[in-house]
Chains A and B, each alone.
Chain A
Amino acid sequence: MGNKKFDCVVIGAGLAGMSAAITVAKAGKSVLLLDQHNLPGGCASSFVRGRIEFDASLHEFCGLGKPGDWALPGRIMMEDHQLDIDWLWIPEMYRCIGTTRSGKHFDVTLPTGVDNVIEKMEEIVPGSREPMKVFMALAKECVDANDYFSNNMSTVKKDGFLKTDSMYYMKNFPNFLKVAERPFNEVMRNIGMPEDAIDILDVYWTYIGADYSKMSFVHQAWMFYMYAKCEPTITRDNAHGLTMACIDRFRKLGGELWLNTKALKVCGDKDGNVIGVLTDVGMVETNYVIANVNPEIAYNRLLDENIKVPEREYKRVNAEKHGIRFFNAYVACNKSIEELGIKDYTIFMPGSFDNAKNIEDSKSYENNTHSVVVIYNVVNPDASPKGTTVMTFTICYTEDVWGDFTQREYVHKKQELFQKVMDNFEKDTGIIIHDCIEEIELATPWTFAHFLNTPEGTSYGYMVDNWDTMLSRLMAIRKDQPIKGFKTCGAAGARADGYNMTYTNGNDIAKIILEEMEG
């Protein structure tokens, strides 16, 4: 290989990596995007079994918006990056089936549209209307404040935190300042939300993996409001189509993509300046590297000894806890949704709505059978061949419960778990699938560790915790990236997990690198 020189090298073509690569390339820089796999996309991928193509991970994109009225992530993807994506909007938030802490059984479908959700909650839990109005108003304020914040992230104070205009926030987002960091369930109680309604709102916990009695209000509020207002979305060509749209755009901007190419070391000179990336095809010269890699792996394995990692960064990665990880059952039936009697796209089947109990259960194999299923054909008639239905069941774990299984029992453990999940689904919904499964693939943290190389097979970076909230991370977004010429992005980054958040984070980090390039 001859000498290769790029303005910037992006390691890892996951969502954040692709987003960062596009932003830097759009600024007129030469960019090399590397991925150790033969396929780009990271989680945003798909796989083929027989005549079925399964989406690996895109269940419900949150916060896209609509043409002409994009929300923050949508604005970056569709306006700034001009991706060619055929989005499909899902006209329903979720159906959930289970028993609340008060012992009442609910089988509820929440519609989209802020007013519709408020009315629906009132219908199922009388007395919810007024607190729901307050909740939605607070949530909107959080969304607005977050937008304002995201557009004003470039000034840094001496102590490394972002400088914010507190008077502006006091004037425009006073409630945001009061409730954003308060625990979600506590805020709900303080605005008079009935307990059954709190349980039903908490059902999104599997999307975040957090204890709602501790997690910041803003996290759930942003997500809930965005799903209600903008509708959840998927793409017609599944997650791999989304990835291909990113790669196509990146290539048109002059970017270069090397697949099946591993970054072995980020190399520094004796003064600690980044001078290149050693790959398994040789050295690539560059002074700027963005790694779509977990910081723990980046600091401990990727940087060579010339690049000094400040002690505070080792402290930070040691303080973090690895986030949630998943069991996914990808199932295709040889019957249509009409034949199966399926109407809903998303169905949460928590059994019990008790968030505290569910969090406890998510630390074990035996008790954790609370699943959510998305059924693609409800929204996307092209999701699979005519007369078939494709769906994904997901279970989330907050601890490593798969690491102790032996090679021999592993397959049986997967099958035993899916049997329980399927039994619950059939009992809860009356929809019978066990006799018509045409293709099935069961993925566990082992699978994700294999394909993503993330610690413990986690998909969601670091756990969003009471001490480590999204806003605190955002305030420290520059403080957490102290190495000149080297930044990390992705699910372990400031905005935490999810397609929307990682894509936005890649763009944030690219802007910081571009500033460093300009000096």
Chain B
Amino acid sequence: MSKVKLKKYGLKDIIYFTNKPKEREKRIQQTSSVKTTATFKVNEKAAERHPDEQRFVIDRVVDHGKGVKTYTLKKKDGTNPAFFRAGQYVVIRQEIDGKLIARPVSISSGPADTLDGWMDVTVKEVANGFLSKYIIENWKEGDEVRTSGPQGLFYYEGFRDEKHVVACSGGSGITPILSMAKAIASGDEDFRLTVLYGSRTRDDILFAEDFAAVMEATDKVQLINVLSEEEADGCEKGFITADLIRKYAGEGPFSLFASGPQAMYNFLDAEADKLALDFKHYRKEIFGSIKEPWTLPGYPAEAKDKVFTLTVKMCGDEYVIPCNANENMLVALERAGIAGPNRCRGGVCGWCRSLLIEGNVFIPELTDGRRGADKKYGYIHPCATFALSDAVIEVPNRK
């Protein structure tokens, strides 16, 4: 291409060009050299909303019986707990015998309550539940405890979800749904919520009074108790079936939310199939790590009950630790006292993401939330990965 002839530009523009860096320098030299200590509003708001850690003092303990307790938490420094989306959880971080153990726990209060300076978490003691047992037995008023900021994706999203949500929950899985109900009552969320709450007997029902108060405040929330082992007035008898969901969903589109134990999902998945719901209309809260990987298709039976050797590289250091094939790799790291960042314990959040350098592993498809390129380059989420041989992994710093 031959050079263009520019009529309107000449030597003065070349001089302008040449002077440009000097002009910049002049401007710099005219500016104050005072060292700024400015903070930025946006960064402060972001830090309030997404704190790495929140330090609390237990203000009150409510014993619901049957190994379920609610802890009202207030921030140690007097500030408000981080505002959250109803349905989110926090990760409780507790040192036990010098080892940091972390587990996600749903928030059972409403988001607006944070503005009054408090937040509730509800813990249920589960069989072989290391941390839940510790909490139920030890946590008392005045204790200092710490959690992550709010986490998780199990919340209402108006652009995605229908205006009517049918929520199915079982046992203590009711907590995120309760939080949603409270958020509707306080005006922080706007949708119609029909709760199908499965319990064994009337005695097992949690938060009856809280729901009554919500339904007093708003007519957008409806609660139906579904009892599996008892007939009772005003309650449905049996399990949460497709027919029952249809009955209470009524006319018009709805989104199905589910929050409960793995066993409930196994049942509910089949019922949801009968309703022929789209992906987007059926959302489940993650239920934590998979417990018995050998029951899943594709698991090589010979690995069960073995204890392998896991070599862990972390920031230039190396640790050699045992890894029980029956437990996910993050548990092995926790048992060794070297667990790094983690949140969801269900394969999806990616906080524990690590590089698998050597070894064979089993990654259940159900909880495989890895990025595409991570699969290609051999990264794993240890909380959703089970060792099938001795292995070498590189993990993020644990601090």
Question: Chain A: residues with CB nearer than 8 A to chain B?
Answer: 1-2, 4, 38-39, 46-51, 53, 134, 137-138, 140-141, 161, 166, 170, 174-175, 177-182, 190-191, 237-238, 240-241, 243-244, 247-248, 256, 258-261, 280-281, 296, 299-300, 311-312, 314-319, 325, 331, 334, 400, 402-405, 407-408, 410-411, 415, 418, 422, 434, 436-440, 445-447, 449-450, 453, 455-457, 467-469, 471-473, 475-476, 479
Contact = CB atoms under 8 A, between A and B. Distances in A.
Interface stretch (B96-104, B201-209, B371-379): B371-379
Contact of A449 (B34, B40, B83): B40
B295 interface: no
Given A259-B397, A334-B278, A475-B21, A456 B159 contact: no
Given A280-B399, A315-B31, A179 B6 contact: yes
Nearest to A186: B8
Given A48-B350, A178-B13, A261-B397, A318 B34 contact: yes
Given A311-B33, A408-B188, A178 B6 contact: yes
A138 B2 CA distance: 10
A296 B350 CA distance: 31
B398 to A, nearest CB: 8
Given A2-B316, A400-B42, A182 B9 contact: yes
Contacts of B372: 46, 53, 237-238, 240-241
Interface in B1-50: 1, 3-4, 6, 8-10, 13-14, 16-18, 20-21, 23-25, 27-37, 40-43, 45-50
B75 to A, nearest CB: 14
B158 A415 contact: yes
B17 A181 contact: yes
B182 interface: no
A237 B41 CA distance: 35
B107 to A, nearest CB: 15
A380 B77 CA distance: 49
Given A53-B371, A190-B8, A314-B33, 12 more contacts: A38-B341, A38-B353, A47-B350, A280-B397, A312-B29, A318-B31, A318-B36, A408-B111, A410-B83, A436-B280, A450-B47, A475-B21
Given A51-B279, A190-B8, A467-B27, A447 B316 contact: no
Interface string B116-141: 00000000000000000000000000
A407 B48 contact: yes
B353 A39 contact: yes
Contacts of B23: 467, 472
Given A4-B316, A457-B46, A418 B159 contact: yes
B160 A39 contact: no
Contacts of A170: 14
Given A316-B28, A402-B42, A407-B45, A440 B3 contact: no
B25 A476 contact: yes
Contacts of A436: 280
A238 B43 contact: no
A161 B21 contact: yes
A326 to B, nearest CB: 12
Contacts of B47: 449-450
B351 interface: yes
The 8 A-B pairs at the shortest CB distance, nearest first, are namely A403-B41, A260-B396, A241-B373, A407-B83, A178-B9, A438-B280, A449-B46, A319-B31
